[in-house]
Amino acid sequence: MQVLWAVNPQQADALSTSYFGGAVDSAKRSPEKLREYIADTGVDVDLDQVVEEEVFPGFTTFVDKGRYRRLYDQGFRFIVQGIKDRVVASVCTSGVLGSNERASRGIGSVNETSKEADIASGGSDQALNYLITEAKLGQDFGAGQPFVGSVQAVIHPREIGRLDYFFHPCDGWGTTAPYDTGSASGEWWRDRVTMDKAIELLQTTKKSSTTEAAVRTGIPRQSILRITCSSEQLRTKLINTCTGSGVQDCNGVPIEDFIVVERNMGEVYRKYVEPFLTE
Protein backbone atom coordinates (compact mmCIF):
# COMPACT_ATOMS: atom_id res chain seq x y z
CA MET A 1 0.00 0.00 0.00
CA GLN A 2 2.85 2.37 0.76
CA VAL A 3 4.22 1.76 -2.73
CA LEU A 4 0.98 3.04 -4.24
CA TRP A 5 0.94 5.92 -1.72
CA ALA A 6 4.36 6.95 -3.02
CA VAL A 7 3.75 6.64 -6.77
CA ASN A 8 0.09 7.67 -6.99
CA PRO A 9 -1.01 9.38 -3.78
CA GLN A 10 -4.51 10.29 -4.94
CA GLN A 11 -5.30 6.70 -5.98
CA ALA A 12 -3.82 5.48 -2.70
CA ASP A 13 -6.11 7.77 -0.73
CA ALA A 14 -9.13 6.55 -2.66
CA LEU A 15 -8.16 2.90 -2.37
CA SER A 16 -7.41 3.25 1.33
CA THR A 17 -10.87 4.71 1.90
CA SER A 18 -12.63 1.91 0.02
CA TYR A 19 -10.38 -0.95 1.07
CA PHE A 20 -10.05 -0.19 4.75
CA GLY A 21 -13.14 1.96 5.18
CA GLY A 22 -15.68 -0.79 4.70
CA ALA A 23 -16.44 -0.62 0.99
CA VAL A 24 -14.41 -3.79 0.40
CA ASP A 25 -15.78 -6.88 2.16
CA SER A 26 -13.52 -7.86 5.05
CA ALA A 27 -13.34 -11.42 3.71
CA LYS A 28 -11.61 -10.07 0.60
CA ARG A 29 -8.93 -8.18 2.48
CA SER A 30 -5.57 -9.92 2.23
CA PRO A 31 -2.04 -9.04 1.09
CA GLU A 32 -2.65 -10.97 -2.14
CA LYS A 33 -5.91 -9.16 -2.83
CA LEU A 34 -4.36 -5.80 -2.06
CA ARG A 35 -1.58 -6.55 -4.54
CA GLU A 36 -4.27 -7.24 -7.13
CA TYR A 37 -5.96 -3.92 -6.39
CA ILE A 38 -2.66 -2.09 -6.79
CA ALA A 39 -1.91 -3.91 -10.04
CA ASP A 40 -5.34 -2.92 -11.36
CA THR A 41 -4.42 0.77 -10.97
CA GLY A 42 -1.84 0.37 -13.72
CA VAL A 43 1.06 1.58 -11.56
CA ASP A 44 4.31 0.04 -12.81
CA VAL A 45 6.54 -0.70 -9.81
CA ASP A 46 9.21 -3.37 -9.41
CA LEU A 47 8.08 -4.72 -6.04
CA ASP A 48 11.21 -6.88 -5.85
CA GLN A 49 13.13 -3.64 -5.27
CA VAL A 50 10.98 -2.68 -2.28
CA VAL A 51 12.17 -3.74 1.17
CA GLU A 52 11.24 -2.86 4.73
CA GLU A 53 14.04 -1.18 6.69
CA GLU A 54 14.70 0.67 9.91
CA VAL A 55 15.56 4.01 8.29
CA PHE A 56 15.87 5.93 11.54
CA PRO A 57 16.42 4.60 15.07
CA GLY A 58 13.07 3.15 16.12
CA PHE A 59 11.31 3.99 12.84
CA THR A 60 10.71 1.45 10.07
CA THR A 61 9.30 2.09 6.61
CA PHE A 62 9.49 0.70 3.08
CA VAL A 63 12.38 1.64 0.78
CA ASP A 64 12.47 1.39 -3.00
CA LYS A 65 16.08 0.44 -3.74
CA GLY A 66 15.73 1.37 -7.40
CA ARG A 67 14.19 4.79 -6.90
CA TYR A 68 17.36 6.84 -6.44
CA ARG A 69 18.91 5.69 -9.74
CA ARG A 70 15.65 6.27 -11.59
CA LEU A 71 15.34 9.79 -10.20
CA TYR A 72 19.02 10.44 -10.87
CA ASP A 73 18.36 9.80 -14.56
CA GLN A 74 15.59 12.41 -14.35
CA GLY A 75 17.92 15.03 -12.85
CA PHE A 76 17.82 14.52 -9.08
CA ARG A 77 21.21 15.04 -7.38
CA PHE A 78 21.03 15.46 -3.59
CA ILE A 79 19.05 16.69 -0.58
CA VAL A 80 19.75 19.70 1.63
CA GLN A 81 18.31 21.07 4.86
CA GLY A 82 18.93 24.55 6.19
CA ILE A 83 19.76 24.45 9.91
CA LYS A 84 20.33 26.90 12.74
CA ASP A 85 23.88 27.52 14.04
CA ARG A 86 23.05 26.26 17.52
CA VAL A 87 21.86 22.80 16.43
CA VAL A 88 24.84 21.83 14.26
CA ALA A 89 26.28 19.69 17.07
CA SER A 90 23.00 17.80 17.49
CA VAL A 91 22.74 17.22 13.72
CA CYS A 92 26.25 15.74 13.79
CA THR A 93 25.23 13.34 16.57
CA SER A 94 21.53 12.65 15.93
CA GLY A 95 20.82 13.64 12.33
CA VAL A 96 18.11 15.95 10.98
CA LEU A 97 14.95 15.53 13.06
CA GLY A 98 11.33 16.56 12.75
CA SER A 99 9.99 18.96 15.39
CA ASN A 100 8.24 16.22 17.38
CA GLU A 101 11.38 14.10 17.50
CA ARG A 102 13.49 17.08 18.59
CA ALA A 103 11.00 18.00 21.29
CA SER A 104 11.03 14.45 22.66
CA ARG A 105 14.82 14.68 22.99
CA GLY A 106 14.93 18.23 24.35
CA ILE A 107 16.77 19.47 21.25
CA GLY A 108 16.20 22.99 19.91
CA SER A 109 14.46 23.68 16.62
CA VAL A 110 16.40 23.23 13.38
CA ASN A 111 14.52 26.08 11.74
CA GLU A 112 11.87 28.05 13.62
CA THR A 113 10.45 29.82 10.57
CA SER A 114 7.06 28.14 10.87
CA LYS A 115 7.17 26.00 14.01
CA GLU A 116 3.63 26.78 15.14
CA ALA A 117 2.23 26.28 11.65
CA ASP A 118 4.09 22.97 11.39
CA ILE A 119 2.51 21.72 14.61
CA ALA A 120 -0.96 22.88 13.58
CA SER A 121 -0.73 21.22 10.16
CA GLY A 122 0.77 17.90 11.21
CA GLY A 123 4.07 18.87 9.61
CA SER A 124 5.90 18.72 12.93
CA ASP A 125 6.15 14.96 12.53
CA GLN A 126 8.19 15.45 9.36
CA ALA A 127 11.74 16.51 8.63
CA LEU A 128 11.33 19.11 5.89
CA ASN A 129 14.08 19.45 3.30
CA TYR A 130 14.81 20.52 -0.24
CA LEU A 131 15.70 18.54 -3.35
CA ILE A 132 18.54 19.76 -5.54
CA THR A 133 18.44 18.86 -9.22
CA GLU A 134 20.88 19.12 -12.11
CA ALA A 135 19.23 22.37 -13.24
CA LYS A 136 20.15 24.05 -9.92
CA LEU A 137 23.83 23.06 -9.73
CA GLY A 138 24.98 26.38 -11.17
CA GLN A 139 23.35 28.28 -8.31
CA ASP A 140 24.59 29.23 -4.86
CA PHE A 141 22.73 28.44 -1.67
CA GLY A 142 20.54 31.42 -0.89
CA ALA A 143 19.90 32.25 -4.56
CA GLY A 144 16.14 31.82 -4.72
CA GLN A 145 16.14 29.39 -1.78
CA PRO A 146 15.62 31.50 1.33
CA PHE A 147 14.85 28.60 3.65
CA VAL A 148 18.30 27.00 3.43
CA GLY A 149 19.94 29.92 5.25
CA SER A 150 23.67 30.25 5.94
CA VAL A 151 24.23 26.70 7.22
CA GLN A 152 23.14 23.51 5.46
CA ALA A 153 23.16 19.80 6.16
CA VAL A 154 24.06 18.00 2.94
CA ILE A 155 22.14 14.73 2.84
CA HIS A 156 22.92 11.53 0.93
CA PRO A 157 20.60 11.15 -2.08
CA ARG A 158 19.88 7.49 -1.20
CA GLU A 159 17.35 8.81 1.35
CA ILE A 160 15.02 9.55 -1.57
CA GLY A 161 14.33 5.81 -1.74
CA ARG A 162 12.21 6.02 1.41
CA LEU A 163 8.57 5.61 0.50
CA ASP A 164 7.38 7.81 3.36
CA TYR A 165 8.65 10.84 1.40
CA PHE A 166 6.08 13.25 0.01
CA PHE A 167 6.37 16.57 -1.78
CA HIS A 168 4.39 19.82 -1.77
CA PRO A 169 5.04 22.10 -4.78
CA CYS A 170 4.67 25.05 -2.39
CA ASP A 171 5.47 26.07 1.18
CA GLY A 172 2.88 23.84 2.86
CA TRP A 173 4.53 23.48 6.29
CA GLY A 174 4.70 19.74 5.58
CA THR A 175 0.95 19.59 6.09
CA THR A 176 -0.81 16.25 6.35
CA ALA A 177 -4.23 17.77 7.03
CA PRO A 178 -6.89 16.32 4.68
CA TYR A 179 -8.31 19.78 4.05
CA ASP A 180 -5.96 22.71 4.26
CA THR A 181 -7.30 25.88 2.68
CA GLY A 182 -3.87 27.31 1.94
CA SER A 183 -3.48 25.62 -1.45
CA ALA A 184 -5.07 26.73 -4.69
CA SER A 185 -7.67 23.96 -4.56
CA GLY A 186 -8.12 24.12 -0.79
CA GLU A 187 -6.65 20.63 -0.42
CA TRP A 188 -2.88 20.75 -0.04
CA TRP A 189 -2.63 17.14 1.08
CA ARG A 190 -4.71 15.90 -1.81
CA ASP A 191 -2.55 17.91 -4.20
CA ARG A 192 0.78 16.48 -3.03
CA VAL A 193 2.82 15.11 -5.92
CA THR A 194 5.02 12.07 -6.46
CA MET A 195 8.79 12.37 -6.24
CA ASP A 196 9.04 11.79 -10.01
CA LYS A 197 6.75 14.77 -10.59
CA ALA A 198 8.69 16.78 -8.01
CA ILE A 199 11.95 16.29 -9.91
CA GLU A 200 10.24 17.23 -13.16
CA LEU A 201 8.93 20.45 -11.60
CA LEU A 202 12.32 21.37 -10.13
CA GLN A 203 14.09 20.68 -13.41
CA THR A 204 11.74 22.76 -15.53
CA THR A 205 10.80 25.71 -13.30
CA LYS A 206 13.01 28.55 -12.12
CA LYS A 207 11.34 29.08 -8.77
CA SER A 208 12.14 26.35 -6.25
CA SER A 209 12.35 28.35 -3.03
CA THR A 210 8.89 27.46 -1.75
CA THR A 211 8.83 23.78 -2.61
CA GLU A 212 9.38 21.29 0.17
CA ALA A 213 9.97 17.58 0.55
CA ALA A 214 9.04 15.87 3.78
CA VAL A 215 10.00 12.57 5.38
CA ARG A 216 8.73 11.06 8.61
CA THR A 217 10.57 11.46 11.93
CA GLY A 218 14.08 12.27 10.69
CA ILE A 219 17.17 11.52 8.61
CA PRO A 220 19.91 9.61 10.43
CA ARG A 221 23.35 11.00 11.16
CA GLN A 222 24.91 8.39 8.86
CA SER A 223 23.28 10.08 5.87
CA ILE A 224 24.67 13.55 6.65
CA LEU A 225 27.59 14.00 4.25
CA ARG A 226 28.80 17.48 5.25
CA ILE A 227 27.78 20.68 6.96
CA THR A 228 28.30 23.63 4.62
CA CYS A 229 28.29 27.29 5.59
CA SER A 230 28.76 30.73 4.09
CA SER A 231 32.06 32.02 5.56
CA GLU A 232 35.27 31.07 7.36
CA GLN A 233 34.17 33.11 10.36
CA LEU A 234 30.95 31.12 10.62
CA ARG A 235 32.81 27.85 10.09
CA THR A 236 35.12 28.63 13.02
CA LYS A 237 32.11 29.43 15.21
CA LEU A 238 30.40 26.15 14.27
CA ILE A 239 33.53 24.09 14.90
CA ASN A 240 33.99 25.71 18.31
CA THR A 241 30.34 25.04 19.15
CA CYS A 242 30.73 21.38 18.25
CA THR A 243 34.01 20.80 20.07
CA GLY A 244 32.65 22.68 23.06
CA SER A 245 29.79 20.15 23.12
CA GLY A 246 32.20 17.24 22.89
CA VAL A 247 31.59 16.58 19.18
CA GLN A 248 35.00 15.90 17.64
CA ASP A 249 33.90 14.16 14.44
CA CYS A 250 30.90 13.07 12.39
CA ASN A 251 30.73 9.74 10.61
CA GLY A 252 34.44 9.27 11.21
CA VAL A 253 35.41 12.61 9.64
CA PRO A 254 37.13 15.14 11.96
CA ILE A 255 34.77 18.02 12.64
CA GLU A 256 37.31 20.48 11.16
CA ASP A 257 36.96 18.64 7.83
CA PHE A 258 33.25 17.91 8.14
CA ILE A 259 32.20 21.57 8.41
CA VAL A 260 33.22 23.35 5.21
CA VAL A 261 32.75 26.69 3.48
CA GLU A 262 30.97 26.21 0.17
CA ARG A 263 28.03 28.07 -1.35
CA ASN A 264 27.87 26.70 -4.88
CA MET A 265 25.56 23.69 -5.19
CA GLY A 266 27.52 22.24 -8.08
CA GLU A 267 30.73 22.30 -6.05
CA VAL A 268 28.95 20.74 -3.08
CA TYR A 269 27.72 17.95 -5.32
CA ARG A 270 31.11 17.36 -6.94
CA LYS A 271 33.16 17.45 -3.72
CA TYR A 272 30.85 16.01 -1.07
CA VAL A 273 28.11 13.97 -2.77
CA GLU A 274 29.56 12.27 -5.86
CA PRO A 275 32.33 10.49 -3.94
CA PHE A 276 29.67 8.73 -1.82
CA LEU A 277 27.34 7.58 -4.58
CA THR A 278 28.61 4.01 -4.50
CA GLU A 279 27.72 3.68 -0.83
- Measured CA to CA, the distance from residue 157 to residue 78 in angstroms comes to 5
114 and 19 fall within a common domain: no
156 and 203 fall within a common domain: yes
142 and 217 fall within a common domain: yes
Residue 87 backbone zone (phi > 0: left; psi -120 to 50: alpha; other: beta): alpha
32 and 105 fall within a common domain: no
23 and 125 fall within a common domain: no
20 and 110 fall within a common domain: no
107 and 213 fall within a common domain: yes
Note whether 158 and 277 are within 8 A (CB). no
Residue 48 backbone zone (phi > 0: left; psi -120 to 50: alpha; other: beta): alpha
130 and 238 fall within a common domain: yes
24 and 99 fall within a common domain: no
For residue 120, the model assigns a pLDDT of: 56
Residue 131 is assigned to a structural domain of this protein: yes
200 and 249 fall within a common domain: yes
Bigger pLDDT: 37 vs 236:
236
Count of domains for the chain: 2
183 and 78 fall within a common domain: yes
* Average predicted confidence (pLDDT) for the chain: 78
pLDDT category, 166, cuts 50, 70, 90? confident
Domain range holding 121? 67-276
For residue 233, the model assigns a pLDDT of: 96
Q: Say whether pTM exceeds 0.75.
A: yes
101 and 197 fall within a common domain: yes
Residue 189 is assigned to a structural domain of this protein: yes
Half-sphere exposure at residue 181, Cβ-oriented, CA atoms within 13 angstroms: 0
Residue 53 is assigned to a structural domain of this protein: no
Q: 7-11, 29-33, 208-212: lowest mean pLDDT where? A: 208-212
Residue 50 is assigned to a structural domain of this protein: no
Residue 185 is assigned to a structural domain of this protein: yes
How much is the average pLDDT of 164-185? 59
